[in-house]
Structure 1
Amino acid sequence: MSQARCPICKRPTDPAFRPFCSQRCADVDLGRWFGGSYRVPATRPDDIAEAMQKSAPARLDPDNDVG
């Protein structure tokens, strides 16, 4: 069975920092997330707003009191 490799530097991983080999590589990875190097795909903002409107519960209109 081959040993897992650090995704940053390709050295063998250390169980204390898994999946990385060291705190340094873990910090490099975190910095890439913060810097925007990694991105999670998403739908367009318009699609998200439309989906939220369709799934939102009906709200009462305070200007149109039915009581």
Structure 2
Amino acid sequence: MTTVVDCPTCGAKVEWTPANRYRPFCSERCKKIDLGAWAEEKYAIPAAPPKDPLDQE
């Protein structure tokens, strides 16, 4: 049974197989669009601000 996922960029159905060298993307175009979004900082991983060691009460 082949796993099928949605392309993160366009939503097209993609077979998760070794033959698909762009997985989880459907194409090189979608892969580059996603990379460009990361480069433009459109994606961010949420994090709490670091605690200041001088603020100890």
TM-score (norm 2): 0.66
Gaps of at least 5 residues in structure 2 are none
What letter matches 1:17 in structure 2? Y
Q: What's the RMSD between the two structures over aligned residues?
A: 2.1
Structure 1 stretches of 4+ moved >3 Å:
none
Provide the rounded CA distance (Å) in 2 between the counterparts of 1:12 and 1:43.
35
Aligned residues: 48
Instruction: Specify the alignment match of 2:8 in structure 1.
Output: 7
Letter in 1 for 2:12: R
User: Structure 1: any 5+ residue segments left out of the alignment?
Assistant: 52-67
Q: Using the alignment, how far apart are the partners of 2:45 and 2:24 within structure 1?
A: 19
Higher relative contact order (CA 8 A, sep 6+): 2
Q: Identity across aligned pairs (percent)?
A: 40
Higher strand share: 2
